[in-house]
Chain A
Amino acid sequence: MIPADPDALAQAALGGDRRALARILTAVENRTPAAEAALRILYPKAGRAHLVGITGPPGSGKSTLVSAIIANAREAGRAVGVVAVAPSSPITGGALLGDRVRMQSYAGDSSVFIRSMAARGHAGGLAPTSTAAAAVLDACGFDLVLLETVGTGQSEVEVAAAADTTVVLEAPEMGDEVQAIKAGLLEVADIVVVNKGDRPGAQRTASQLRAMLVGSGRVGRREGSNDRPRPKEPEVLVTTATTGDGVPELMAALARHRQGRPSGADDPTRRARAAAQVWAILGDRVRAELEGGSRVATTEAVIREVAEHRLDPFGAADRLLATLRTGGQ
């Protein structure tokens, strides 16, 4: 049996109980009050792991590369946690989580923990859940935490927000030109990996990407929760995830990227992540205050006035904020 009480669950997870850890991750996914209680205990123990986001188009070899990275990290004696996120159907809510197929199972090795998660179309996106899941694994002693997400649209920005280092995977291009759609993905890359190095065109794709990325490094980009300053242009590497070729070089690049960053709160990525978490929770809290208890009637009435165009939404927000300040009604 695992404890139902979130404090006991968190203590058990910290003590190495993998089932308790798994149950906390479930609470995190479900965004239950138990998740908050457990995270209050776990968060102060986190902050030591290297959080690495792995994103790229479907089929580029992300899960296979994750497996190869696990193998390398285990040889070096590091404990590895993985969160692999796959899309949910917006219609049925169902999801097919197939990333484990490409990952060696490491059954019996308690220093590897692999968890699949459905993206679930949460309000506020994927970042809060993946950030919290990474913190849980970090607190439970995993030195390296890998976050795999499919890079289509918004999700790559979300992993970048949750990770210290973002790796963007590409497969070799068969055509003449690296596709323009890659631009959005490359924006968030700290390291670019052309995987399937055994395929023709891999080196050529890598050279084209290097040419595209020249001068892309910049300092002091716009402030914002998902926006990360990138001091240097990303390195471009070639791997063959199926054989492990190039993976030691990738491990070295990951270590270099991490060492190149300021520590703790001086790291703008960490600061941005901390800010995003606090703002998200604060937003939820404010809303809960206004939608609950004695204030709900006032809130409803104010929203009604906006619907009737008797009040503008800015004035409404001001008035609701004022009810929070006076602490009542």
Chain B
Amino acid sequence: MPDRPLKVLIAKPGLDGHDRGAKVLARGLRDEGFEVVYTGLRQTPEMVVTAALQEDVDVVGLSILSGAHMTLVPKVCRLLREQGIDDVLVVVGGIIPDDDVAALKEAGVAATFGPGTTIGEVAEFLRSNAKPRG
């Protein structure tokens, strides 16, 4: 279907002050042909969900290095559901221990990407799994 690009929100919830990884991913996905909305550092779950709603994205990508993924990610997933946003693909990038991955998937996350993942792999996963809006 995509004669139009998939739209991806790259958000950096939490308090850690590094967004180099998120920016590299945002630029990399742009170069892979995605429309990437980047919102910057220190986003609360409410801000992430507001951006996802207003931008009507196909994918919400959360980049979390702070270790706070077990609180932030389920909260984003819950708020998305509360807003009725049930057709968006949620993925998480960061250092996620194997034990947590299952719990995140339970919460509604489609995939987690660890530090070794290439942008090509992320792009491929999104293309095969995201449902374009509209």
Contact = CB atoms under 8 A, between A and B. Distances in A.
Contacts of B35: 88, 94-95, 97, 118
Interface residues of A, number: 33
A1 to B, nearest CB: 6
Nearest to B50: A107
Contacts, number: 95
B37 A94 contact: no
A24 to B, nearest CB: 9
Interface string A71-113: 0000000000000000011001111111011000111100001
Contacts of B47: 105, 107
Contacts of B50: 105-108
Interface residues of B, number: 33
B34 interface: yes
Interface string B36-67: 11111001101101110111100000000000
Contacts of A25: 56
Contact of A93 (B27, B33, B53): B33
B92 interface: no
Nearest to A109: B50
Interface in B7-51: 26-27, 29-40, 43-44, 46-47, 49-51
Nearest to B39: A100
A2 interface: yes
Given A22-B55, A94-B36, A97-B36, A30 B5 contact: no
A94 B36 CA distance: 8
Given A22-B54, A107-B46, A94 B84 contact: no
A116 B46 contact: no
A197 B4 CA distance: 40
B86 interface: yes
A120 B7 CA distance: 12
25 contacts: A2-B84, A19-B53, A19-B85, A23-B56, A25-B56, A30-B134, A34-B134, A92-B30, A92-B33, A93-B5, A94-B31, A94-B33, A94-B36, A95-B36, A96-B26, A97-B36, A97-B38, A100-B39, A105-B39, A105-B47, A107-B47, A108-B46, A113-B54, A115-B55, A116-B37
Interface of A: 1-2, 18-19, 22-23, 25-27, 30, 32, 34, 88-89, 92-98, 100-101, 105-108, 113-116, 118, 120
Interface of B: 4-5, 26-27, 29-40, 43-44, 46-47, 49-51, 53-56, 83-86, 133-134
What are the 5 A-B residue pairs with the smallest beta carbon separation, nearest first? A101-B40, A94-B30, A22-B56, A107-B50, A107-B46
